[in-house]
């Protein structure tokens, strides 16, 4: 018995080594996934714990409260939620058509000589740190827009509600512009990728049937990538909702809703960034954490919605095909 064991082990050793490799792979990847999961749980727990005094004090009325006042120690997030939604949706309104246009241009229309450099530029834009964009917003974009673009719009379109008022180099409109610059590269590079991957026989086919380029884009390419496009837009939306630093720099941190799009406002993320260091009261700190809880919930909803829509559109497409 004792003499048999070594001879039996020999052929096994090769197998065993590969099994160790498999085990290591499974262990490392599994560990990474578990650590990420734990991190997420710990993060939510910690933020919720910090926010607890405010959740107890204000409960759901935090969502509708308009006052944010460290003197009276009363906090409400309505105007901040409003600011977050307006700036994010405003940025998407400008960024999405622009990004899809860039995607179509780069995948279909651009000559090869400019395709590569422009693609790289768009991706570089995504890599600019937001604090740099914010600084540029303060020093360059803000003064320019306030001196040249806003007075023009106010003079000619001031009769439209929310477009009147006084030009300002800090405010909602500036925040929307800065967020647009952040969202465009994300949506544009994803949509370029999507359009490039549309099977060329579909494109060629529609062209062969006499479709114009525009008809081909509209009726073949965009429906083909619909689900992915929605996911890309949602990705940009998530980015815009959560952006803090650059928005803080240009939105003008106001305590109330502005009368016009040019006036200062504030968003949830920007309020956290501006006030978290140096809160005057315990409850103020807790209320900022409450904002963070709301932001987490917002991002979760946006992501889940994106997956839901993308999945449904893909299924519908498969059903159609």
Partner 1 sequence: MRKLTSSALFAVVLAIAVLAAACGSSGSSSSSSSGSPASSDKALNGAGSTLVAPLIAQWAPDYATKAGVTITYGPVGSGGGIDAITSRTVDFGASDAPLSSDQATACKGCVQIPWALAATVVTYHVSGVPNKLKLTGDVLAKIFMGQITSWNDPAIKSLNPGVNLPGTHITPVYRSDGSGDSFVFTSYLSAVSPDWKSKVGASTQPSFPTGQGAEKNSGVAAAVQSTDGSIGYVAVSYIAADSLDEALIQNAAGNYPEPSTTAISAAAAAVTSIQPDGSIPLVNPPASAANAYPLSTYSYAIVPKQSPKAEALKKFFTYAITDGQSFGPDLGFPALPSSVVSHDKQVIASIHS
For partner 1, the closer CB: 142 or 242: 142
> Is 122 within 8 Å of 188 (Cβ atoms)?
yes
Tell me: does residue 279 bind partner 1 (CB under 8 A). Answer: yes
Residue 157 exposure: Cα atoms within 13 Å on the Cβ side: 11
Residue with tokens 């200062």: 264
* Contact residue for partner 1 among 22, 46, 67, 215 (CB under 8 A): 67
CB 85 to partner 1: min, Å: 20
CB 162 to partner 1: min, Å: 18
Tell me: does residue 72 bind partner 1 (CB under 8 A). Answer: yes
Among the residues of the chain, which ranges form H helices? 4-58, 78-104, 112-127, 130-136, 142-144, 150-157, 172-196, 200-208, 213-216, 222-242, 245-251, 268-275, 282-320
For partner 1, the closer CB: 206 or 270: 270
The region of 85-93, 103-111, 279-287, 305-313 touching partner 1 under the rule CB under 8 A is: 279-287
Spatial distance between the Cα atoms of 107 and 84, rounded to a whole number of angstroms: 33
Tell me: does residue 287 bind partner 1 (CB under 8 A). Answer: no
Residue 216, C-beta contacts closer than 8 angstroms, at least 6 positions apart: 203, 206, 207
CB 69 to partner 1: min, Å: 4
For partner 1, the closer CB: 131 or 160: 131
Which residues lie near partner 1 (CB under 8 A)? 67-72, 116, 119, 123, 127, 138-139, 142-143, 146, 166, 168-171, 248-249, 252-256, 264, 266, 274-275, 277-284
């Amino acid at each position: 018995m004792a003499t048999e064991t070594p001879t039996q082990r020999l052929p096994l050793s090769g197998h065993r080594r590969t099994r160790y490799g498999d085990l290591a792979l499974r262990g490392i990847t599994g560990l990474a996934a578990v650590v990420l999961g734990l991190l997420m749980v710990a993060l939510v727990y910690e933020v919720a714990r910090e926010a607890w005094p405010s959740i107890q004090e204000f409960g759901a009325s935090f969502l509708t409260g308009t006052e944010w006042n460290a003197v009276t120690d009363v906090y409400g997030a309505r105007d901040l939620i409003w600011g977050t939604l307006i700036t994010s949706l405003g940025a998407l309104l400008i960024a999405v058509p622009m990004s899809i246009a860039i995607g179509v241009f780069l995948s279909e229309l651009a000559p090869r000589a400019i395709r590569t450099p422009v693609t790289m530029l768009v991706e570089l834009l995504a890599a600019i740190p937001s604090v740099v964009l914010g600084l540029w917003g303060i020093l360059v974009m803000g003064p320019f827009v306030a001196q040249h673009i806003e007075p023009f719009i106010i003079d000619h379109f001031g009769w439209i509600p929310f477009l009147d008022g006084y030009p300002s180099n800090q405010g909602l409109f500036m925040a929307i512009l800065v967020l647009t610059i952040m969202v465009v590269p994300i949506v544009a590079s994803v949509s370029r990728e999507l359009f490039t991957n549309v099977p060329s026989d579909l494109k060629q086919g529609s062209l062969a049937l006499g479709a114009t380029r525009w008809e081909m884009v509209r009726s073949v390419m965009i429906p083909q990538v619909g689900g992915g496009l929605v996911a890309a837009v949602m990705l940009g939306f998530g980015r815009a909702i959560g952006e803090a630093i650059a928005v803080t720099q240009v939105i003008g941190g106001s305590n109330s809703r502005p009368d016009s799009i040019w006036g200062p406002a504030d968003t949830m993320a920007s309020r956290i960034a501006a006030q978290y260091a140096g809160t005057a009261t315990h409850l103020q700190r807790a209320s900022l954490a409450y904002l963070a809880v709301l932001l987490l919930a917002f991002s979760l909803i946006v992501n889940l919605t994106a997956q839901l829509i993308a999945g449904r559109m893909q299924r519908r497409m498969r059903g159609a095909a």
